[in-house]
Chain A
């Protein structure tokens, strides 16, 4: 990526050539940038008031941030008596974040600005049992395509963020320096290494439940909430927890793995995944079709050759009693587990997601019934239980927010802000140099890809 390198050099020389006290005052620069970026302050007066800075400090730091291209003061706000104040805006168009969601049966890619706002997205069916090389090739091919559709000075990527269908054992902090274990069979597949080599940007990675929770929190039903519970119902069932307006990851990013809980359904005992997940829904639907208990399911079975959870869900929506009971049973089991979490967390909202939850209201109704029946009255007094409207876009938006929060987290920001671009972060520069020796022309094939 020669263009990126050239742009890097230009920015670095601009940073180096600025002799002022700001280099020793990056704390206030960071704080002011984040006040503006998060919308807590939109004028110089607000920055002075909210950040408790003097006028001269604010003027100096904003001059620096403007020179670095990170804020813009060209617009006027509404006058409230005297002269109209100049608005201070974060330059979200300065760079882009490439995002991808890898799900068991689908792949999504998108591009966002530095506020996390999605500018473009695309989703397509995928099979994650394919070799890691194939998946990585498709991701880079789609990233190349989406970058080819961008134009303007801020079109270059500043970060990449991936959403994967498994917990990411990583304690947070700055960008990844190697690919963490993702899926069995993908051990050693160098996703991070290949992406850093090809695009020259830092990479973040989170589980799909975490990114979808972030997406709902920042652009969906959970906007403005401080306590939220997100539940994804698919082959696996997982929960995302939001406390004090932030995603709670736990010690190792493994919070909310409720699918592993052992539950009892009639005479059967098993995990929540096994007794209420989409595979169970498909299996029960298939059995009903084969045993002639549902003519609609039998008809769908004939047409499709096999039944998945989506077809059972479709039959339920069309009023098939057997399909409705299958979904209700799944909803009740999930609801009992979710009620336990709700009693522990006391959320304002519970958001159900996943194709089964989103395609009809039967599962939602069963979860509501179970949660309301098994929770303390105070827990359910103002509780809303809704289904997600965002589908897989939640994962893309959430992945973008993971990268944005990572880029602008003070410990990360302090090491690149005076250079104007995160690619100039010393640790990242060192990482690139390590990955690029010897520099291959194309992304390397994952080492342990399955045949």
Chain B
């Protein structure tokens, strides 16, 4: 699948194959015995845990020790403190998901200045440059994810519908790209649809934001939320007040998978591959530590998921069978298939 978007500096995407490790690379890494640290936005989500598994497993295969995992709890202050501490521990590489933009830029830039290979996940603070301030960005094709969500939601929307976009009110590369790509596709392919945008500052207030949007725009007949956890909050708040309609989001969390399997309200998901992303980020870091040239931006394509392929997509994304609530909800249609 081709990559729809451009990188944070307008770079063309490099496919994950560009950072494949040869047996000689793995041997060389084992010989060196590198030490790396991982700085995550949170460790509370399935997504983060899967990314971490991919990272740690691949690092282990290459004889590289993960000396610390920092949980920032979405807090820029916690991330800055964690990065400052790591600076003194001097690992060979740090893999970090920047939780903010300008606030955490300097804390990240100081790692590269100190000779530590910095691989970023999902986000690049404005002003940081590849090759100078960090080695590479590894992310999903977020623009492609937004486009997939729009394409899959569109058939569920009547002509002339009004739909809501719930964006994230932080300057974050991944969510910005998803929001822009979703609205761009709708404007081009479904000009009959009116888009109403509102943004939540944190997951906690996503439900309130959704309700305010609905109050201001009572004709809303569908919603796109830029990732699944706030989508869950928005949906439960809206459902309590009696709103129904099709919903599209990004990431195949357990709840949205179950909703897809039941036939709604979530009808479309564009899924990232967190485990695979962790593997690719680890490979990129290994190559950088070996002194090899790495691409500025490695992008992984998204997976379009509907009720028709939710079970197998769940397996691809999470590397385990779909949960019982998904399989049970699919049972009648599976039997029909046979």
Query: What residues make up the interface of A, taking CB atoms closer than 8 Å to B?
Result: 101, 106, 108, 117-125, 138, 141-142, 145, 148-149, 219-220, 304, 310, 314, 317-318, 355, 358-361, 389-393, 395
B126 at the interface (CB under 8 A from A): yes
In contact, B129 and A220 (Cβ under 8 angstroms): yes
Q: Are B293 and A142 in contact (CB under 8 A)?
A: no
Which residues, 2 to 52 on B, are CB-close (under 8 Å) to A? Answer: 2, 4-12, 14-15, 18
> Within 8 Å of chain A (Cβ to Cβ): is B295?
yes
Q: How far is the CA of A351 from the CA of B252 in the complex (A)?
A: 43
CB distance from A2 to the nearest CB of B (A): 21
28 interchain pairs, CB-CB under 8 A = A106-B6, A118-B126, A118-B127, A119-B102, A122-B177, A122-B180, A123-B10, A124-B180, A124-B181, A124-B184, A125-B4, A142-B180, A304-B2, A314-B14, A314-B15, A358-B11, A359-B12, A359-B14, A361-B293, A389-B130, A389-B132, A391-B9, A391-B10, A391-B130, A392-B6, A392-B9, A393-B9, A393-B129
B143 within 8 A of A: yes
Which residues of chain B come closer than 8 Å to A122, judged between CB atoms? 176-177, 180
Interchain CB contact (< 8 A) of A355 among B12, B181, B184, B187: B12
A262 to B131, alpha carbons, bound, how many Å? 34
Contact A359 B295 (CB under 8 A): yes
Q: Are A317 and B130 in contact (CB under 8 A)?
A: no
CB B81 to nearest CB in A, in angstroms, measures: 24
Q: Are A125 and B129 in contact (CB-based, < 8 A)?
A: no
> How far, in whole Å, are A124 and B171 apart by their CA atoms in the complex?
17
- Among all A-B residue pairs, the 4 with the closest Cβ atoms: A392-B10, A123-B10, A391-B9, A123-B6
Residues from chain B with Cβ under 8 Å of A220 in the complex: 129
Report how far A25 CA is from B296 CA in the complex, Å.
51
A310 and B10 CA atoms in complex are apart in Å by 14
Residue of A nearest to B6 (CB): A123
B129 x A124 contact (CB < 8 A)? no
Is there an interface contact between A119 and B126, defined as CB atoms closer than 8 Å? yes
Note all chain A residues with C-beta closer than 8 A to B181. 124
Q: Please give the distance in Å from A208's CB to the nearest CB on chain B.
A: 11
Measured CA separation A395–B9 after assembly (Å): 10
- Determine the main DSSP class of B at the interface with A: loop
Q: In the complex, what's the smallest C-beta–C-beta distance from B279 to chain A, in angstroms?
A: 19
Using A149-B171, A317-B293, A360-B293 as known contacts, say yes or no to A125 and B180 having CB atoms under 8 A apart: no
In the complex, which residue of chain A has the Cβ closest to the Cβ of B167? A149
Contact of A106 with B10 at beta-carbon distance under 8 Å, contacts A124-B184, A145-B180 already known: yes
Q: Which of B5, B18, B129, B177 has the largest count of A CB atoms less than 10 A from its CB?
A: B129
| A358 / chain B contacts, CB cutoff of 8 Å | 11, 296
Could you say which of B9, B102, B130 contacts A123, with CB atoms under 8 Å apart? B9
CB distance from B330 to the nearest CB of A (A): 33
Among candidates A117, A310, A390, A393, residue contacting B12 with C-beta atoms closer than 8 Å: A310
CA of A375 to CA of B293, assembled, Å: 28
Interface string of B204-228 (1 = CB under 8 A from A): 0000000000000000000000000
Are the CB atoms of A123 and B12 closer together than 8 Å? no
In this complex, the member of B101, B126, B176, B177 whose beta carbon has the largest number of chain A beta carbons within 10 angstroms is B126
- A318→B15 CA distance, assembly (Å): 12
Closest Cβ neighbor of B14 among chain A residues: A314
The smallest C-beta distance from B139 to any residue of chain A, in angstroms, reads 14
Q: Which residues of B contact A392 (CB under 8 A)?
A: 6, 9-11
Question: Of all chain B residues, which has the CB nearest A134?
Answer: B188
Q: Considering the chains assembled together, what is the distance between the CA atoms of A148 and B169 in angstroms?
A: 10
The answer for the CA separation of A359 and B8 in the assembled complex, in Å, is 15
| Chain A positions within 8 Å of B15 at CB level | 314
Q: A360-B293, A390-B9 are in contact. List 17 more A-B contacts (CB 8 A).
A: A101-B10, A120-B171, A122-B180, A123-B6, A123-B8, A124-B143, A124-B180, A145-B180, A219-B127, A220-B129, A314-B14, A361-B293, A390-B129, A391-B10, A391-B11, A391-B296, A395-B10
Nearest residue in A to B127 (C-beta to C-beta)? A118
- Whether the pair A317, B18 counts as a contact (CB closer than 8 A) is yes
A390 to B129, CA, bound (A): 6
- Give A108 to B172 CA distance when docked, in angstroms: 16
Q: Smallest CB–CB gap between B311 and chain A, Å?
A: 28
Which B residues are CB-close (under 8 A) to A355?
Answer: 11-12
A124-B5 Cα distance, complex, nearest whole Å = 6
Task: Look across to chain B and name the residue whose beta carbon is closest to the beta carbon of A124.
Answer: B6
A391 neighbours in B (Cβ, 8 Å): 7, 9-11, 130, 296
Measured CA separation A196–B205 after assembly (Å): 37
Q: Are B126 and A120 in contact (CB under 8 A)?
A: yes
| Cα distance, A318 to B20, chains bound together (Å) | 10
A1 CA / B129 CA spacing, docked (Å): 35
User: In whole angstroms, what is the CA distance A168 to B236 when docked?
Assistant: 54
Please name the residue on chain B nearest to A137 by beta carbon: B187
Q: Which residue of B lies closest to A101 (CB)?
A: B10
Least CB distance from B83 to A in Å reads: 21
Closest approach, in angstroms, between the C-beta of A117 and any C-beta of chain B? 7
Name A123's closest neighbour in chain B (CB-CB): B10
Shortest distance from the beta carbon of A183 to any chain B beta carbon, whole Å: 19
Give every chain A residue within 8 A of B177 (Cβ-Cβ): 122
Instruction: Return chain A residues, CB-CB under 8 Å to B296.
Output: 358, 391
